[in-house]
Structure 1
């Protein structure tokens, strides 16, 4: 695979490069080989199940591991845009309707995975703020453990937002991306991100949110008794992500402090959080 003219697409948890021949190389963090292998497996299974999804290359053994970092290889998508709320709702409805496969080892999704470590290592915050976040994490875990038993389980994306479903300009058919967190869990964890965009950030209008609800099948997350628990858990994950960048990025450190102030109720909703 020629890499001389590689172009950086995104530098996040995963680093994406565009290569010749409409190939995208996705470099995962150290120690994430099993996650990378599951992404490829999920892509192929979802395609067979009729879900439009980003395609892993078939002619390369996947993943390729270099210095404990897995590299997976994908077919580059044509020009595209983020999905509308209604398009996202329709894709999630199709995904959640699939039978949980017995042959694939999808993990049970844990909304709190890695958060304690991220907070402990978040030296961009003073110790008192990290202690408060850890107390919040413990409270959310307890509330989640009480709210979730008995909810139906299905295959969920795990990080469902409009940017992880894109619509190619030519075909107009939404395509599911970023399969890092795919697993088995309650549908509510997939539905909460867009609901939070509506209730806590005013990023989408009431009309768009209700279009999302209709496209999904009529279930409104914001009316569920456990909504605030999952909403805060999602916001805590977004805060921990920026906190992880704060050790080397002063703008990220400032943003992490702002997000903590929001979570503590010191800033009224709707909130404005900068993207990182």
Structure 2
């Protein structure tokens, strides 16, 4: 299916869901066309279209939003006047209040939010799943049609190596509530100045280090943030620097493998994603020196 076909399919789901929920979707604008399709609608509403058969995940996102807001962590809020989720062709659609004119958080703002999040006691009225870092990672490698068999073989062997290295890590003494996709774009700052958490589908229970890895890798492997910005993140989190943790490289390698798998998952339908996936694989295989430059998809 072409990229335009993907968009048309998501738009069709949106229009049907909007009709079922009596929402005006005329002139909807695509915000993101990733693992979820996200649209901005009139009247300050954002529609988030989940993957097929992810109704329970969408339900949990709604409950997580309410729970985090009750516990003092500002989080994107659902539109309470609409029964949710709306189901169309096994795809759940959730409706959220638009956060206008926001900017990505600074590293320090992200560090402060994560410090608070990681101290929360998990909810008792619903269960958070354990974080599963390898979910959905192998399949894109196996199904990609744009890579060489040599690259596929290397990636599958690397996947096996990473699973073994991960299994050899000591169990965390205190698993905590974690966001699961903690980067500056998922904590946004509106004109009110209060950083607000987005993208709740991966909120789970697991190692706190997972929530510290993305920005640490941005610093060590990509140089996307400066030394001072990274130190600001560490200080705001409470002084714990995950790059000094003995398991850092294991989690960092897994995170980068996940980013490669994401590109591969889109490579069969988008030439730009195929080109980017090829570059990312070359980086992992040591053919491109660090710091790396990877393009967003």
Asked if residue 2 in structure 1 is aligned to residue 2 in structure 2, the reply is no
Q: What's 1:188 paired with?
A: 209
Deviations 1:70-103 (A, max 9, x none): 1000000021100000000000001001012222
Asked if residue 274 in structure 1 is aligned to residue 266 in structure 2, the reply is no
Q: CA RMSD in A?
A: 1.0
Asked if residue 260 in structure 1 is aligned to residue 275 in structure 2, the reply is no
Q: Which one is further off, 263-272 or 118-127?
A: 118-127
Structure 1 residue 31: deviation in Å?
A: 1.6
Q: What's 1:20 paired with?
A: 42
Q: Distance in 2 between matches of 1:154 and 1:4?
A: 42
Q: What's 1:31 paired with?
A: 53
1:244 corresponds, among 252, 258, 265, to 265
Structure 1 residue 117: deviation in Å?
A: 1.1
Q: What secondary structure, in the 3-state scheme, does the structure 2 residue paired with 1:70 have? A: strand
Q: What's 2:134 paired with?
A: 112
**Structure 1 length normalisation: TM-score?**
0.97
Q: Distance in 1 between matches of 2:258 and 2:282?
A: 15
- CA contact 1:154–1:185 (8 Å) conserved in 2: yes
Q: Distance in 1 between matches of 2:287 and 2:170?
A: 29
Q: Distance in 2 between matches of 1:257 and 1:53?
A: 36
Q: Which one is further off, 247-256 or 85-94?
A: 247-256
Structure 1 residue 249: deviation in Å?
A: 1.3
Q: Distance in 2 between matches of 1:150 and 1:253?
A: 37
- CA contact 2:146–2:267 (8 Å) conserved in 1: yes
Q: Distance in 2 between matches of 1:122 and 1:21?
A: 40
2:167 corresponds, among 145, 148, 151, to 145
Asked if residue 222 in structure 1 is aligned to residue 243 in structure 2, the reply is yes
Listed as ranges, the matches of 1:129-168 within 5 Å are 129-168=151-190
- CA contact 1:153–1:185 (8 Å) conserved in 2: yes
Number of residue equivalences: 275
Q: Distance in 2 between matches of 1:31 and 1:204?
A: 37
1:204 corresponds, among 211, 225, 245, to 225
Unmatched runs of 5 consecutive residues or more in structure 2 = 1-22
Q: What secondary structure, in the 3-state scheme, does the structure 1 residue paired with 2:278 have? A: helix
Q: Distance in 1 between matches of 2:105 and 2:254?
A: 24
What stretches of structure 1 move > 2 A for 4+ residues in a row?
none
Q: Distance in 2 between matches of 1:9 and 1:267?
A: 32
Q: Distance in 2 between matches of 1:103 and 1:209?
A: 36
Structure 1 residue 3: deviation in Å?
A: 1.4
- CA contact 1:195–1:209 (8 Å) conserved in 2: yes
Unmatched runs of 5 consecutive residues or more in structure 1 = none
Asked if residue 127 in structure 1 is aligned to residue 127 in structure 2, the reply is no
- CA contact 2:38–2:46 (8 Å) conserved in 1: yes
Q: What's 2:108 paired with?
A: 86
Structure 1 residue 148: deviation in Å?
A: 4.2
Q: Distance in 2 between matches of 1:48 and 1:152?
A: 23
